[in-house]
Amino acid sequence: MLTKKKTALCLLVAVFMLSTLLLPASAAYSDVDDNDWYADAVNKWGNLLQADGAIEPGKTVTRGEFVHILNGLLGFGQADPKFTDVKGHKYEKDIGAFEKAGIVVGTAEGVFSPDDDLQRYQAAIMLGRVLGLDKGVDGFNYADSADLAVLNETAAAYQGALNRGGYYNGTKVDYKTANEKVFSPERPFIRAEIFAMVNNMVKGGYINSATAKPNVNAADRHTEGNMIIAASSKINDVSVVGDLIIAPKLGDGEVTLDNVIVTGSLYVRGGGVDSIIITGNSSIGRIVVDNAGSSAVRIAVEGKAVVAAVVVSGGAETEVIITGKVDVVVITASVTLSLVDAEVGDLAVWVIAEIVIDEDSTVEVLEVFNDKVTIDNEGTIELAEVVEGVEITGDGEVEDTETIEKPVNDVYAA
């Protein structure tokens, strides 16, 4: 029989052991201290590169490693590369997927240089393309902005959106120090900075399962920043203060946004014919569709939801289906656009595309600036303004038609 002292000692030991199990996890890596500025980011996202051990936060990141990290987060799949210098490389299939999606084009013809250090301007290009961000956005305000513009116009074009969205917060003189407001375009990225960048990408939440939740302020249901959705899910009663990104990892899954406000843009990089459903009192200023996750994606606007504009900027040879009311639709990629029970204020088509309008759909103004566009109309077009050579087929109604001049400098068709 145990004595009272022994019983008490056993209870104390049990309580101690239980308490250690309930303590928050400390740094998962042997060379990351809990007090380091990057500790939270590295401990959350370091497993995109390696599971444990010494992660070397001050070590430079290679181009291949960066592709592998982004692919693990967003899910562009795996593919065989055409680059001649990545055959047999540990990240060969990741690089192949990014090459297939047009995210990377290499450092020279047929060459990717997977083991070269990742320079900051190169990361800007890859990140801008992988997220489908806008070019030429105001907010490019680093002290050395001119240096980047001279070095690479594409990187400079993306930097405004990256800066505005909080993806980049300046470079660090040393990874133990605070931020500076310079970009240092040719400076290599270090691991601590890359994982901090990933953390910035998902401050508002990383929805990688049906049970994952946004990171919101309990009082007003606002997120702390950008959100990424990478799995079928339903998001309710949230204001996303930043961009909302539907990742290719979603595949042909379904996402429902119910009473969701997006202050930035909704970037659709994945989703299928049953997605994306925007309902309730949701309000989205602009949706940018560049689908890389499936062969077709649907944007369904229901209830009292408001969508001001849908821009289809990528996802060539895929189908984009729109149902419900949208004020403006702009097509700058060679896709098939299907309007199904849709009400569109202005539809502008700048490139070769196929437009299908069903009998329950209405377009107030159709503007076509490319004479290779095909239009099958079973619905109603109130005014068609098209360049010479465009023919509208089908049994639908076209109330008025005007011929317009083809743009001389068609930047969208390049």
pLDDT in tens, 77-134: 999 999 999 999 999 999 999 999 999 999 999 999 999 999 999 999 999 999 888 8
pLDDT at position 388: 95
Count the Cβ atoms, other than its own, within 10 Å of residue 200.
Answer: 18
Nearest to 207 by CA among 161, 276, 160: 276
- Examine the pLDDT at 169 and tell me if it is beyond 70: no
Q: What is the pTM of this model?
A: 0.86
Check: CB of residue 172 under 8 Å from CB of residue 38: no
pLDDT at position 171: 55
Q: Give the range among 147-151, 193-197, 383-387 with minimum mean pLDDT.
A: 147-151
Q: Give the range among 11-15, 220-224, 234-238, 317-321 with minimum mean pLDDT.
A: 11-15
The residues near 24 (Cβ < 8 Å, ≥ 6 apart) are none
Check: CB of residue 135 under 8 Å from CB of residue 105: no
Structure tokens at 214: 């946004």
Q: Whole-angstrom Cα distance, residue 69 to residue 58? A: 17
- For the chain, give the percent of residues with pLDDT over 70: 87
Check: CB of residue 251 under 8 Å from CB of residue 274: no
Distances (CA, A) of 116 to 34, 54, 91, 185: 30, 21, 13, 15
**Who wins on pLDDT, 184 or 168?**
184
- pLDDT category of residue 5 using cuts at 50, 70 and 90: very low
- Examine the pLDDT at 70 and tell me if it is beyond 60: yes
- pLDDT category of residue 269 using cuts at 50, 70 and 90: very high
